[in-house]
Structure 1
């Protein structure tokens, strides 16, 4: 892979920073909409006259559709300019939030969340491949870190800010604001994204061929371990803080805000590290998060200590999406859209495994058991990555493509 095809596609002689920022805004809008129901579930259920468990299906439905869309988007849109596809997916984000904001009942809510899942999975699957075409090769890790910072920003906004605004202006108005974020992202994409003709083969058979590559198969296993371990911890962090640490809800919110701020900083640090040592950037974060999980699972520490450990966790996890997006760019540059689709699909499966498996452990061994198991899963992931990456180049610049 070289910079010349990128410039041939975009017609630019310099990195397309504005277009990368437009991608970041798209990610921010999508992930914010994805996680808003977590902080607004109770008022949503009460207003729609449904149970909280039924309202929770709005979250799982989004994940299912994101999984499907991540695998199909390249083949369904293989003849279309990627600029138009990305803008169309941002349009779906806007329609989704409007449907949820004005939903008269559960079915309208479900339809809106299904559209969000399609937009989320499709956008994420194509994002790495698009950034590769917008940036010269040495700047790809930095471009990816900017794009992925939208996730960290959404983590800060969706939970603490979303719950606060919901109590002040109502949950429907919060989703209207989320639709406004989609409008902003679409406008910036319209003015900054260059024409991006389709590349690669974009078929289901291509997905299978990419999956059969040895480095990809092992990589997907590592992805499953990293993200399932993380989401086993993150899904049940509030019960841990309330029941084990014994802090009030205001302190829980402050700790989660600290997680989000640290996560945002970690995203940019990940891009910096990837330009220097890929192996360390991929292996160290899951090891650090795993250690945090094991320590938290083994002790009911003082609130200040728990808060510090959660901040370390947030910072470490900020590097993870950047590292794996960069891995796709370096491992399957010839079929980056298919590789991105497989990555997103694996992450969605890992979220389900982590949340579901953590729930089973919670019912049997309590929340400390969840943290112990999640921590050990992450340590195993770090060991696998360290051994697997040991035979691979140390820096992004050295990776053969």
Structure 2
């Protein structure tokens, strides 16, 4: 009996794509729910009688539970049908939306956000493997692109949509808005997705074993610092824009929307350069973002602030694309474990960055969160440069990362600064 890696012959094409579309919708709702508090911190804090820094922990707690779930969910559910597992996470998303929408106090809000974190970590951890079973091999890239499209759209609209809805129907109405969308996604999954019993496979092992590779450890460090810095600042944009820059709610929504649109443009532009300039890009992006964070501390008028934040959206949204490309090249031989580790690192970084930013925000004001973000972003650039240097070192020893077909040309470019440094080192030694 054959056991194909890609595709389930019993699945009809239309049903498979219907399941894929419902998964993409669920991804979009998950991401929108995760980041919607960014634009609603002020009304949440006012309504529940807490500080804006405490309200910001609604993002950090979901990130923390997403980390824990992404690391351990495969082992906990190894005997359960994947259709049931994904549907359970979609149901958990609905419950989370209801709990947050009707939360009477801080504790209930945190419980709802923790449930969301479990749904995010679990759904993301299994989505790629499920798509590979739903679709034939030739259609898998399109299926994964569909999931990523849901992610990109949600990341673009979640903050401005939350601000817009919060202005008209309140922050509770904004969170309740995602519930019917999640219900549609759940119905689509249950209707179109076939039974996907777990396969008898050897355990994948501890994902942290990958950190024994020096280049992987450096790259993951760069990713950790990048997302910590990004969300130490991004989480508290609304209080900054309202109190320091003097934006109205409508002006705030417009700035957040323009940031999202700039992010879409940045993703498209920078993705075209990643083939030959991967390391140069992942080194430069956090440097630019750090410069933007520091410049925001020195300006206060609306137009310069808006321009700087649009630039932040352009580069910040594109950064994960660069590191996703890095992962596919450096860990092509262990991409599933590498993807799980990357999800855990990103969610952990979001949780820690938002939490630390909130503590600094309450202690010394918005400028301390921005300075902290700039320092983390500078550290990310240094770690990315070190990963580039490590790749160049492995290349000189005749062991560069290879593509699936063993081609050296697929390895990421280390960038001009790394090549110059390594060339000088060789001459001196």
Within 1, Cα distance between the matches of 2:233 and 2:16? 37
1:379 alignment partner in structure 2: 381
In the other structure, the counterpart of 1:101 is 101
2 CA distance for matches of 1:155 and 1:354?
18
Question: In structure 2, do the counterparts of structure 1 residues 247 and 49 end up closer, same or farther at CA, with 3 Å as the change threshold?
Answer: closer
1:311–1:286 distance in 2 versus 1, CA, 3 Å: farther
Q: Deviation of residue 207 (structure 1)?
A: 2.6
Q: Secondary structure at the match of 2:80?
A: coil
Residue 179 of structure 2 is aligned to residue 179 of structure 1: yes
Task: State the alpha-carbon separation in 1 of the partners of residues 115 and 266 from structure 2.
Answer: 30
- Aligned residue for 1:27? 27
Match of 2:346 in 1: 347
Partner Cα distance (1:159, 1:286) in 2: 27
Q: Deviations over 1:126-153 (max 9, x none)?
A: 2344445556778766654442333332
TM-score (norm 2): 0.75
Assess, with a 3 A threshold, how the Cα gap between structure 1 residues 235 and 265 changes in structure 2: closer, same or farther: same
Q: Quick check: 1:219 aligned with 2:216?
A: no
Contact 1:281–1:319 (Cα < 8 Å) also in 2: no
Give the 3-state SS of the residue equivalent to 1:170 in structure 2.
Answer: helix
CA distance in 2: counterparts of 1:57 and 1:359, whole angstroms: 7
- The 1:13/1:21 distance shift into structure 2, 3 A limit, reads closer
* Cα deviations by residue, 1:41-92 (Å, 9 ceiling, x for unpaired): 4444454455655544433322221121111111111122333322211111
Worse-superposed segment, 160-169 or 261-270: 261-270
3-state SS in 2 of match to 1:7 = coil
> How far off its partner does 1:164 sit?
2.2
Bigger CA radius of gyration: 2
Cα offset, 1:28, TM superposition:
1.2
Q: CA 1:376/1:268 → structure 2, altered by over 3 Å: closer, same or farther?
A: same
User: Distance in 2 between the 1:26 and 1:36 partners?
Assistant: 15
Which deviates more, 356-365 or 69-78?
A: 356-365
Alignment of 1:198-237 (within 5 A): 198=198, 201-202=202-203, 205-237=205-237
Contact 2:278 2:326 in 1 (8 A): no
Q: Aligned partners of 2:331 and 2:282: how far apart in 1? A: 23
Structure 2 Cα separation of the partners of residues 13 and 129 of structure 1: 17
User: Hey, what does 1:310 align to over in structure 2?
Assistant: 309
Judge which range, 21-30 or 99-108, deviates more: 99-108
Q: TM-score, normalised by structure 1?
A: 0.79
Q: Flag the 1:102–1:332 CA change in 2: closer, same or farther, 3 A.
A: same
| SS at structure 1 position matched to 2:299 | coil
Cα deviation 1:162-221 (Å, max 9, x = unaligned): 122123223333222211121122233234445544455456x43343444555433322
Cα deviation, 1:365-389, whole Å, max 9, x if unaligned, reads 7466345424423432442343345
Cα deviation 1:321-367 (Å, max 9, x = unaligned):
34444555555567655433321221122224434555677739746
Structure 1 residues 142 and 305: alpha-carbon distance in aligned structure 2, compared to 1, 3 A threshold: farther
TM-aligned CA deviation for residue 284 of structure 1? 1.1
Deviates more, 1:384-393 or 1:87-96: 384-393
Matched, 1:293 2:316: no
Question: In 2 relative to 1, CA 251–48 (structure 1 residues): closer, same or farther, beyond 3 Å?
Answer: closer
Aligned residues, how many?
394
Verify: 1:116 aligned to 2:126, yes or no. no
Rate the CA distance shift 1:328–1:191 in 2: closer, same or farther, 3 A.
farther
Paired residues of 2:53 and 2:358 also in contact (CA < 8 A): no
**CA distance in 2: counterparts of 1:331 and 1:9, whole angstroms:** 32
Alpha-carbon distance in structure 1 between the residues aligned to 2:10 and 2:276: 31
SS at match of 1:80: coil
Identify if the C-alpha distance between structure 1 residues 293 and 220 changes in structure 2 by more than 3 Å, giving closer, same or farther: closer
Q: Which whole-Å CA distance do the structure 2 matches of 1:253 and 1:385 have between them?
A: 38
- 1:87 — aligned with what? 87
